[in-house]
Amino acid sequence: MITKVTYLIATILSVKAFPQNIQLLSQLPSDPIEQPDSWAWGRHPKEGFGYKARNSLTLEQCIDNPETAGTVHCDGYDYSYPVELCISMPRLAPLKVCADAEFPKDFCVANAVKLIKANGCQSYLTDLCTADVSLAVSSDCAGVKFPASACTSNANFAILDNCKGVEFPASFCTTSVQIALLDNCKDAKLPKEFCVNGDLRMIKAKGCSKFLGDICSQSLELANSADCLPAQKSVSVFRCTRSRDICLSQLCELKVRDKGSCPQ
């Protein structure tokens, strides 16, 4: 009885370790990297048995071959590369194998798009965010405070929330109407010729408030708007009497009380 049991157990183990007397889909490799009993075996209803070696490399293989880092073959291992290797192969820098490396600023900025998430570049995040417009507007740079020099070096940066609170000089505020309307230019003394340039949006520019009468007299719609009520005292008689419509408007009620004197 004991002999029969022993024989049965041996037979089961043998079959479990390696399928016996079956028709394989292809031949076993002559020099397999792992023993077949560790492979995944499966049987297809019509095509017989098939086999597949485990889809992974050893830790030593992963360490010795940096090109395998970040692949499914090595992701399960915990190992690191020296900073020199991470720098020599920028593809590795954002990966887990280089997570503990501290990179120099020049390397981070030169590879800003690739390294925006790299741990070793986080101390230079502002420099990375302002190195490329696509990064500046990305979620990776949300909440990063840009310095005044960066905000005024690129009009695309100036309109971002990253530049809120930065005071722009008048020379930069006159770059465009869009920038002049930003709160960053509220204390800038904008020149009259820029404020009275025919763009009616300038009525909203805080830096143009001292020229409100000149702006409002450019359009009948503006002259009768609530935005121009504060200009009733400052608008000049000359501005009011250049056009009959403007002269009769709400803007000129205080400066031209005798509407009969308005031009015909």
CA 29, 33, 38, 41 dihedral sign is: negative
Sequence ranges of the domains in the chain:
2-52
Q: What is the pLDDT of residue 5?
A: 43
Confidence band (pLDDT; 50, 70, 90) for 75?
A: confident
94: which residues sit within 8 A by CB, 6+ positions away? Answer: 114, 115, 117, 118
Q: How far apart are CA 256 and CA 251, in angstroms?
A: 9
pLDDT(50) > 80: no
Overall average pLDDT of the 63-80 stretch? 91
The string of pLDDT tens digits covering residues 156-187 is 999 999 999 999 999 999 999 999 999 999 99
Residue 51 bridge partners (DSSP): 41
Q: What is the pLDDT of residue 243?
A: 92
Mean pLDDT for the chain overall: 85
pLDDT(12) > 50: no
pLDDT(1) > 90: no
The string of pLDDT tens digits covering residues 188-222 is 999 999 999 878 899 999 999 999 999 999 999 99
Q: What is the pLDDT of residue 198?
A: 76
More confident of the two residues 263 and 51: 263
Query: DSSP letters along 164-205, please?
Result: TTPPPPHHHHTT-HHHHTSGGGTT----HHHHSSS-GGGGG-
The string of pLDDT tens digits covering residues 227-254 is 999 999 999 999 999 999 999 999 999 9
5: which residues sit within 8 A by CB, 6+ positions away? Answer: none
